Amino acid sequence: MRVLVCVKRVPMTGGRIVLTDDAQAIETKHLGFTVSPHEECGVEEAVRLIEANAGESVVLTLGPPEAEEQLRDAMALGADRAIHLVTDGDEWDAQSTAGAIVEAVRSDEAANGAFDLVFFGNESADSGGYQVGIRVAYALGRPVATGLKGVALEGGAARCEQEVPGGRDVFVLPLPAVVTVLEGLNLPRYPSVPAKLRAQRKPVDASSPTRPQPRLEKLRLVVPESQGKEAEILGHGPDAAPAVVEVLQRIGVA
Amino acid sequence: MATLVYVEEPGDLTQQALAFARGLGEPLHAFTTGDPLAVTGVEKVHHAEGDAFASYAPAAIARALVELVEAQSPSAVVASGTPRGNEVLARVAAITDLPLAANCVASTPGDPASVTRTRWGGSLLEEARIHGERLLLTVQPHAVAPEPATDEPAPVERFAPTLAEEDLVVTVRERAGSSAGGVSLAEAKVVVSCGRGAGSPEGFGIIEELAGLLGGAVGCSRAVTMAGWRPHTDQVGQTGTKIAPDVYIACGISGATQHMAGCKGAKAILAVNIDPEAPILASADYAVIGDLHEVVPAISAELRKAQKGTAEPG
């Protein structure tokens, strides 16, 4: 079988977000980069499916040249090869991103056959648009289930589980299909050193699509005003316990 | 017709979405596949009927909503930014090839309309313009005040949408067994959580003890689930559970944006941290500076004393 997983390079934000002077992006001078935890689980699941069923897992990203780092990370986890839609670093909106991914999928499938499953994170860690996977599915004419914490093959179908209050709702999608997943789907492995070295030699197919005019046009980013809150220090060490209990009683929970 | 609201189910989040939608232009119409009589405060309720809607069927719901939108031509279509609200509107956006702004906190209609939407689970805001012949957006939960529900049901117009076979594929086939046991994290009035500072899975013993005394639930940071110490269902954060307790007791939690996006809904935050400079102190209401391994058992002991005191009056 063939499985595709799509990821997005995002900064590791830490405790406090600082913006660039033009307020167009997060200042990343002192930050590392990663992908969304949802996507990390998507990569792990794609790799497990190919380990169990044989075939090929491919990782795709749309992002700046530096996003090759995230493709290599995914290949260190076990993805076989990568597709890099290289941008100049400007952000693409969800519609443009989906459009470029659809074209890349079509062209890869023309050469290599259909992807039985395409994985997305349910939403990206940074812009959180909740739509790229769904747009790609509709453009390809494939069924899509979202927000999944379970994906299993059952005959020619994917059994998809969505956590809801009181249990798990089960969808059964005929393949080929698109799924968007959540962290908690699995516990991703840590890459071994040999796997990291192997990943350096795996193929990356790079191309540079043209960015269309965004229809959701970002003007600027704003760090929300913190409430100007200053925590009331109840004390230091175990001696603070009576003050804590008093607060809990005042709130009405103790 | 000005604004159409997709109502998944009645409740506080729906009242917030209605209040937000009213600001985009009246009259307000609602679309639902659920109980139409439960939707109040709108000019009209459009109710899609059919076997397809017996269980949650997002593709069919979206197709019905698109049919209604094409018939009524609202200038804006709004849903609550819940998992299902976001899903249905993204499907509508995909079918109609319109831009969609998810999890908005403000919007001004116009050509183009402007929106302010959340990023990073609410840790950052984006101001944007949206270029489409119709405004599609979802409303960030708990960002606007809900409008009060009235007890006057609105007039209901029923319709049976035309569905293709492909719209019937994505439907809930069964509800698999629940893992319900103890207090649910999302609903708990008190959540006591801990980060890597617990030291080991066993280190959560003192956290469980305190949560138990308060009738609360145990939470944890992402680092803890990544280490395999606690199940992902315990994780509080942007990619874990979003909680809204009366009080959140965060022990040894530094306050990374990923974590804080999950506990913004807490009415009060009490941080127990050894580092007086930890970022969480900028979001906490109360703090104890000290080693959680000493502070947490002391709080439990004090609580026991207090509880004993009330159990044996006099």
State the pLDDT at residue B180: 53
State the pLDDT at residue B178: 62
Which of B82, B100, B168, B187 has the most A C-beta neighbours within 10 Å, making it the best mutation to test the interface with A?
B100
State the pLDDT at residue B262: 94
Query: Is A150's pLDDT higher than 50?
Result: yes
A128 in contact with chain B, both atoms CB, cutoff 8 A: yes
* Per-residue confidence band for A206, with pLDDT thresholds at 50, 70 and 90: very high
Domains of chain A, by residue range, sit at: 2-251
Note whether B286 contacts A174, CB cutoff 8 Å.
no
- Greater model confidence, A165 or B298: B298
A197 in contact with chain B, both atoms CB, cutoff 8 A: no
Q: Average pLDDT, stretch A149-163? A: 95
Which amino acid would we find at residue B27? P
State the pLDDT at residue B309: 78
Splitting chain B (314 residues) into consecutive groups of 10 residues, what average pLDDT does each group show?
Answer: 91 95 96 92 96 96 98 97 97 98 96 96 96 97 91 92 96 79 84 95 97 96 94 94 95 93 93 94 95 97 89 55
Residues of chain A with pLDDT > 70: what percent? 99
Closest C-alpha to A50, from A83, A74, A68? A74
Q: How many CA atoms lie within 13 A of A39 on its CB side?
A: 26
- Asked if the peptide bond before residue B313 counts as cis, ω within 30 degrees of 0, the response is no
State the pLDDT at residue B307: 87
Separation between Cα atoms, residue B283 and residue B264, nearest integer Å: 9
Note whether B287 contacts A231, CB cutoff 8 Å.
yes
Superfamily of domain A2-251: HUPs (3.40.50.620)
Average model confidence (pLDDT) across chain A: 96
Note whether A128 contacts B120, CB cutoff 8 Å.
yes
Contacts of B304 (CB under 8 A, 6+ apart): B213
Q: Average pLDDT, stretch A145-160? A: 96
User: DSSP state, B249?
Assistant: E
pTM value?
0.93
| Domains assigned to chain B | 3-168 (3.40.50.620), 190-311 (3.40.50.1220)
What SS3 state is found at A15?
coil
Q: How far is A107 from chain B (nearest CA, A)?
A: 21
Question: Chain A partners of B127 at a C-beta cutoff of 8 Å?
Answer: 218-222
Q: Give the Cβ contact number of residue A90 at 10 Å.
A: 11
State how beta strands A216-222 and B124-130 pair: antiparallel
Q: Average pLDDT, stretch A66-90? A: 97
ipTM over 0.85 threshold: yes
* B261 and B280 Cβ atoms separated by less than 8 Å: no
State the pLDDT at residue B314: 44
